[in-house]
Amino acid sequence: MSTVLQSLSAELADAVQSAGRAVVAIHARRRIPATGVHWRPGAVVATNHTISRDENITVTLSDGITVPASLAGRDPSTDLAVLKLAGQSLPTASLRADTPPRVGELVIALGRPGPSVTASWGVMSRVDGPWRTWQGAEIDSLLRLDLAIYDGFSGGPLIDGGGRVLGINTSALARGVPVTIPVATVERVVTELLERGTIRRAYLGIGTQPVRVPKSLARKLELTLDTALLIVSVEPGGPADRDGLLLGDVLLELDGAAVSDSADVLAKLGGDRVGRPLTARVIRGGQVKTLQVTPGERPQSQAA
Amino acid sequence: MTTPVAGGLAQELAATVDELRRMTVQVRTGGAASGAGVLWSAGGSENGGLIITNAHVVRGNQATIELSDGTAVRARVVAHDRKRDLAALDFEPYRAMVAAVVRGSPRLRVGELVIAIGHPGGLVGAATLGIIHAVESEGEGRTPRWIRADMRLAPGFSGGPLADTTGRLVGVNTMMQGGLALAVPAAAVEAWVRRAHALAAP
């Protein structure tokens, strides 16, 4: 006779076992290996910060066999990287893309920092809407965990009680606090990295700082907002410089939307904006001026 | 729709914890409570009862054991192994008692629920729940050195039982390392007890 407690125990172990088959160890840094997930046939998702070299990468599969892997691409802004494996019959992860996790839901984090799979358990502590990483990437939803993290946790999957993957865990996006990158975001990044090897992001080449617009000026210029962005740096030869934005301009609107912090600017700079002009409204010399600026493609090393 | 199970789960957990408390003792040396112990064997007509705990829990060759019903008995250290961090103590059973049942099979699985009983900060018979974090790959006939559990144990849990959801003993809680609870596997304790007995026999 099996009690509820025993069934729960067996189901947790079953979830670990079935999901664990798609969890691999990645040897791409010194000391302990990192974890990765066999996401699509021949493509393994890992975290960018745990892959410290671009070559001589090997992957240990769940059956204990170690095979060479090549780096398909990395995206520091989401801390994701994709590796390619040749001719493997390893099962891929079963993804839960339809129902988002709920606060309080029982979850398990898996790792493989060596030959065997490891697990820690806890609950979802926060489930929220989209957020932006410090490097400007949009993550479809904020998933925070109440569970202990151990060495080799980053790059591993967060799974539900049925062994389905809810996302990829990383400790590098929120000052060491564990977060899970949801399936939708991982899917998007994997597709783009496999196609292009890099994530295209538009950029203007400006540095900004929020400022209050004086009431008298706002009244005079008939503005409804009270905060705007002072341009405090302009990259020489960058897209903004080329299109005539000046140091000291106060940016009010971009593409018809008011901007009051740098996230508002980043929101207008998706990969599809490269080479497509945006309308910028600025205060210059006490007057409102409208300009056209065409974002360029952000160089890989550039953060914003 | 799913059937509500949380209530049943809580009751079953409480029942298993009650069962485990009966085979968990307090070990006192030099007057102060220093840790927990497992009632390994309840003794018989010829043999005394046997308590297993950590070597770091007992100092000297005598200890006072406080059983789950509050009775204190004198116990003598019959084996002490600093390296394995295990100690065995024998005592005169004063009544019939139920000793721990070791889980021989099946093998432990990663993700399986485990329960630890101990006396953190003088709180007698406290319980905590976790899962198996890692299972070391087993060599031919070799038992793994440690069981690693995803649970946080305070010092008072040392020497106490780590058990599965059926209440069978899987290990003796020994220390925390890197945020994980480490326990000596019950099979390793069994082998150690056999060896210690063989050495003690004339």
Which residues in chain A are closer than 8 Å to B180, comparing Cβ atoms?
150
B34, B68, B85, B90: the active-site residue: B85
Q: Averaged over B124-128, what is the pLDDT?
A: 95
Domain boundaries, position A103: 4-196
Chain-centre distance of CA A130, in angstroms? 11
Same domain, residue pair A83 and A184: yes
Mean pLDDT, range B187-194, rounded to an integer: 93
Q: Where are the alpha helices (DSSP H) in chain A?
A: 4-20, 183-196, 215-221, 239-242, 262-266
Residue A302 lies in a domain: no
Can you tell me the mean pLDDT for B72-97? 91
Cα–Cα separations (whole angstroms), residue A101 to A49, A79, A111, A185: 25, 21, 20, 14
Average pLDDT for A88-111? 94
Q: Is the domain of A52 the same as that of A136?
A: yes
Can you give the pLDDT at residue A143?
A: 96
Q: Is the pLDDT of residue A1 over 60?
A: no
Whether A303 maps to a domain, the answer reads no
Residues A254 and A182 in one domain: no
A221 and A165 belong to one structural domain: no
Residue B131: which of A12, A14, A151 has the nearest Cβ?
Answer: A12
Contact A16 B12 (CB under 8 A): no
Q: Does A32 touch chain B (CB under 8 A)?
A: no
Q: Once rounded to an integer, what is the mean pLDDT over residues A236-251?
A: 93
Last residue of a domain, one of A165, A196, A227: A196
**Does one domain contain both A150 and A185?**
yes
Interface mutation vs chain B, best among A1, A7, A9, A146, most B CBs within 10 Å: A9
Comparing alpha-carbon positions, the chain A residue that sits nearest to B6 is A4
Residue B129 has pLDDT above 50, yes or no: yes
Q: Cα distance from B160 to chain A (closest Cα, Å)? A: 21
pLDDT of B139 above 60 = no
Among A168, A196, A224, the domain boundary falls at A196
Residue B202: what pLDDT?
47
Test A13 with B110 for CB contact under 8 angstroms.
yes
- CB < 8 Å to B113, chain A: 5, 8-9, 12
- Kindly list the residues from chain A whose CB atom is less than 8 angstroms away from the CB atom of residue B111: 12-17, 108, 119, 121
The residue count of chain A comes to 304
Q: HEC string of B119-130?
A: CHHHCCCEEEEE
Mean pLDDT of B176-197: 92
Do both A71 and A189 map to the same domain? yes
Say what the pLDDT of residue B30 is: 74
Q: How confident is the model at residue A302 (pLDDT cuts 50, 70, 90)?
A: very low
Q: Which residues of B touch A121 (CB under 8 A)?
A: 111, 130-131, 150
DSSP bridge pairs for B51: B39, B89
For A163, nearest residue in chain B (alpha carbons):
B111
B109: nearest CA partner in chain A: A13
User: Structure pTM?
Assistant: 0.84
Distance (Å) from the alpha carbon of B8 to chain A's nearest alpha carbon: 7
Chain A residues with CB under 8 Å of B13 CB are 5
- Percent of chain A surpassing pLDDT 90: 67
- The CATH number of the domain holding residue A226 is 2.30.42.10
Residue A304 — very low, low, confident or very high, per pLDDT cuts 50/70/90? very low
B56, B80, B133, B197: which is the annotated catalytic residue? B56
B138 vs B38 pLDDT, higher one: B38
Interchain CB distance below 8 Å, B180 and A150: yes
Share of chain B above pLDDT 70, in %: 91
Lowest mean pLDDT among A109-118, B32-41, B74-83: B32-41
| CATH of residue A9 | 2.40.10.120
> Does A304 fall in a domain?
no
Asked if B112 has any chain A CB less than 8 Å from its own CB, the reply is yes
pLDDT at B43: 79
Mean per-residue pLDDT over chain A, rounded: 91
Higher per-residue pLDDT: A84 or A273: A84
- pLDDT band, very low/low/confident/very high, at B142 (cuts 50, 70, 90): low
Q: Among residues 16-35 of chain B, which lie with CB inside 8 Å of chain A? A: 16
Per residue in A17-40, pLDDT tens?
999 999 999 999 888 899 999 999
In the predicted model, is pLDDT for residue B78 greater than 70? yes
Whether the predicted pLDDT of B140 surpasses 60: no
Is B164 a residue of the active site? no
Q: A185 and A229: one domain?
A: no
Tens digits of per-residue pLDDT, A264-278? 888 888 777 888 999
**Domains in chain A, number:** 2
State whether A12 and A37 are in the same domain: yes
User: Which chain B residues have a beta carbon less than 8 Å from that of A13?
Assistant: 109-112, 132
Known active-site residue B80 = no
Cβ pair A121:B109 closer than 8 A: no
Cβ separation B8–A4 shorter than 8 A: yes
- Average pLDDT over every residue of B162-187: 96
Which residue has tokens 């965990």?
A145
Cβ contact A74:A48 at 8 Å: yes
List, in order, residues 6 or more apart from A199 with CB less than 8 Å away. A73, A75, A77, A78, A137, A189, A192, A193, A271
Angle subtended by helix axes A4-20 and B6-22, to nearest 10: 100
Do A237 and A114 share a domain, yes or no? no
Mean pLDDT computed over B185-200: 86
Among A134-138, A156-160, A197-201, A266-270, which range has the highest average pLDDT?
A156-160
Q: What's the rounded mean pLDDT across residues A71-75?
A: 94
Distance (Å) from the alpha carbon of A148 to chain B's nearest alpha carbon: 8
Q: Are residues A85 and A8 in the same domain?
A: yes
The Cα A165–Cα A146 span in angstroms is 17
Cβ contact B181:B173 at 8 Å: yes
Residues A22 and A101 in one domain: yes
- Tell whether the model's pLDDT for residue B167 goes beyond 90: yes
Do residue A48 and residue A101 come from a single domain? yes
